[in-house]
Amino acid sequence: MGRINGIDNIRNKKTDVVNKDIAPANAVEKNKNYVVEITDMNHEGQGVGHIGSLAVFVDGGVIGENIELKVIKVAKNYAVGKLLKILRVSPGRTEPFCSIFKSCGGCSLQHINYNDQLQYKTNLVKETLKRIGKIDEAIVHDTIGMDHPFNYRNKAQFPVGLCDGKPAIGFYAKRSHEIVGSCDCGIQDPVSDKIREIFRRFIIDNEISIYDETTHLGLVRHLMVRKGFRTGEVMVVVVINGKDLPYRRKLVDDLISRVPNIKSIVLNINTQNTNVILGERNMKIYGDDTIVDYIGDFKFHISPLSFFQVNPIQTEVLYNKAMEYAQLTGRETVFDLFCGTGTIALFMAQKAGKVYGVEIVEDAILDARKNAKLNRVGNAKFIAGDVEKVIPELYGQGVRADVVVVDPPRKGCETSLLDTIADMGPERIVYVSCNPATLARDLMYLEGKGYSTAEVQPVDMFPWTVHVETVVLMSRVKE
């Protein structure tokens, strides 16, 4: 597939257009139809073509196609088009497996065959590292995909609302909070669709009010389903804008009689006027507080609020690659920064001398300590606190890491933290990222502090979407 670039890198790029007599960029008109060739894809998975010298982005465009589009937005350096007709079909195009693909805001790459998606993600990482990080000599491996990239998600979160005046539990439409009608979702576990329909009928039959985010009135906000892929255990979480759910005994009886392996049913209380899905308080109404699942040989208790990777198959692939890059011999001290519930730290503890996990969310650290005890890991210590403050304190106390693992949120790392890591001088840094742009920025900064980017491995954690997880090995440059 072609290069993947952001607006800044493609605004001056020219390409042949079927319409040879197109006017200059400032003459491109909104609501007018044009014929363009799709030559690229951007970081949002949109096809990229040109009308004269102006880049145009279009949902659903595939590299190698000639399409007719209608311009729906004209900005200074780019335009946005709506696909009207495919005049020449790319061999990379495939039929979407989902009936609501065009309206749902979820899997935006279903129209592209899976192998080409993997190539797109490899190119996305390469181009982002080069454009933002000025890194073009590191080895960037092909993206590791899935043998069966369907039904891989172990957690489904469904907003509850009204569609044509009737209760609907589904997904948000693209770039909106309008709920798309239900369908069989090809990336969720099938049990979530079954539970969703049972709960929808429960709302209708018992006339349960539905939350309205504009008025902050109504009761039911979201439905969440979690499943342990190795254990088969199922958790159902109903998020409510109130203190209790009417007729909850009916719901419990209906669920446990019709869905095997339900181990936990929970009401999550969220009365805040916010877009955050889960509130801080849970009320168990059936079964256990948690379900159990595994990553590799490690066992984890999962609560409604626990962070747990949604694709356990690819998580094991990712963590094994991080272990490989860490090159542990059994003597090293490892820092796992932004450790969450301790999943990476426990993997590292298998071959490290000592592991320190640091995370600002106290509940996550409590879970991490429980997970360490559950798996009889005695060489991992978990600390609750701001990573930017805890690491300098540890370093000041004489605790130095031989290997540092960082798995930050999408915004990446603060420069103060990167400075402290570089000052400690670990032999290797293993950087796990869900955002190629902030990854590239941080790698460039660390390269200016005496480190070299050696290997980059993208992993497809979220097939059919534009998202890609990346694990990177950085080595200290020897003086």
User: Which residues have a catalytic role annotated?
Assistant: 434
Report which residue type is found at 26: N
Residue by residue, DSSP assigns 390-458 as HHHHHHHTT---SEEEE---TT---HHHHHHHHHH--SEEEEEES-HHHHHHHHHHHHTTTEEEEEEEE
In the 8-state DSSP scheme, what is residue 141? P
Q: For the purposes of burial, counting CB atoms within 10 Å of the CB of 16, is it exposed (0-12), middle (13-18) or buried (19 or more)? A: exposed
Long-range contacts, 87-90 (Cβ 8 Å, 24+): 87/18, 87/35, 88/64, 89/65, 90/38, 90/62, 90/63, 90/64, 90/65
d(CA 240, CA 177) in angstroms, rounded, equals 18
At which residue do the structure tokens 């342990």 appear? 228
E strand map for 77-148: 78-88, 139-140
Token duo for residue 434: 């869900």
Q: How far is CA 337 from CA 304, 332, 405, 434, 454, in A?
A: 23, 16, 6, 15, 20
Contacts of 31 (CB under 8 A, 6+ apart): 70, 71, 72
Contacts of 342 (CB under 8 A, 6+ apart): 336, 357, 367, 368, 369, 371, 372, 380, 382
Cβ-based neighbour number of residue 468 at 10 Å: 24
d(CA 242, CA 171) in angstroms, rounded, equals 23
d(CA 156, CA 201) in angstroms, rounded, equals 18
Q: For the purposes of burial, counting CB atoms within 10 Å of the CB of 176, is it exposed (0-12), middle (13-18) or buried (19 or more)? A: exposed
Q: Partners of 407 in the beta sheet?
A: none
To which H or E segment does residue 99 belong? Answer: none
- Nearest CA to 15 out of 47, 41, 52 is that of 52
To which H or E segment does residue 265 belong? Answer: strand 262-269
- Nearest CA to 60 out of 110, 11, 10 is that of 110
- Nearest CA to 447 out of 473, 472, 424, 474 is that of 474
As a whole number of Å, the end-to-end CA separation of the chain is 40
d(CA 182, CA 139) in angstroms, rounded, equals 43
